Amino acid sequence: MKAAASQLIPGVLAVIGILCVVAPATAQNAVYSCVDKNGRRITADRPIPECIDREQRVLDKTGTERRRIGPTLTENERVAAEAQRRVDAEQKAKVADQRRRDRALITRFPDEATHNAERVTAVAVFNDLIQIAYKRIEQLRVDRAAINTELEFYQNDPKKAPAKVQRRIADNEEDIAEQQRYIVTQQEEKRRVQQRYDAELAQLKELWAAERAAAGNAAATAAGTPTSAAAAKPASGAR
């Protein structure tokens, strides 16, 4: 047993020696290549100081690219790069969020008829509120007519009317003015809702068009026919 082990040891040592020789040789065979700030292409057997601020390619002895080394950044550059990464991530998140919103919108309103039906319902709420306010004004004017009947006893000098009657007149006028202000507010809100639905409809028309185009391209691909974009592209070699 000891004899067999003693015979194996030289072989193992030989393999280890070969690996120790090959590993440095492999590292030494790496070629670093870059183009410096002056446009010169530089190659070396180690990272190139002149290209510390830019990307360097690492090639093997056959010239095949194995990896790339990024530029070495200063502290300010690292801070700026991190800030830019955050901006890019935020922008990417915004784009993804907008796509989700678009998908939710087009799912909610698959066609213009559905969108218009909701618009009519929303606007009807404001119309009802405005009509209620107008009816309230009509009632207040009826009340004022009754007060005016009482004032006939003081038509020669209305200032002699009892304080209670004068207070009813003031309250009536204020109530009418309040209802008129309320009507204006509801009309403005209704106009804003109409504008929102107009903008939403314009956006939906673009989404519907894109959806129809995507469906058409998918159907054409499934049928094995070229899409409109591909059909418009001339064949190579055509004159």
Q: Report yes or no on 38 lying in a domain.
A: yes
pLDDT, tens digit, for every residue of 11-68? 434 333 433 433 343 445 789 999 988 999 999 999 988 888 888 999 998 889 999 8
pLDDT more than 90, % of the chain: 53
Q: Report yes or no on 16 lying in a domain.
A: no
pLDDT, tens digit, for every residue of 195-234? 999 999 999 999 999 999 998 888 888 877 555 544 555 5
Q: How far apart are CA 138 and CA 119, in angstroms?
A: 29
Same structural domain, 182 and 141: yes
Q: Does the pLDDT of residue 190 top 80, yes or no? A: yes
pTM above the 0.95 mark? Answer: no
Whole domain around residue 93: which residue ranges? 74-108
pLDDT higher at 62 or 171: 171
Same structural domain, 59 and 144: no
pLDDT, tens digit, for every residue of 113-138? 999 999 999 999 999 999 999 999 99
pLDDT, tens digit, for every residue of 136-153? 999 999 999 999 888 888
Q: Please report the pLDDT score of residue 113 as a whole number.
A: 97
Number of domains making up the chain: 3
Q: Report yes or no on 193 lying in a domain.
A: yes
Same structural domain, 118 and 185: yes
Q: Please report the pLDDT score of residue 41 as a whole number.
A: 92
Same structural domain, 147 and 193: yes
pLDDT, tens digit, for every residue of 215-224? 888 888 887 7
Same structural domain, 96 and 182: no
Q: What is the mean pLDDT of the chain?
A: 83
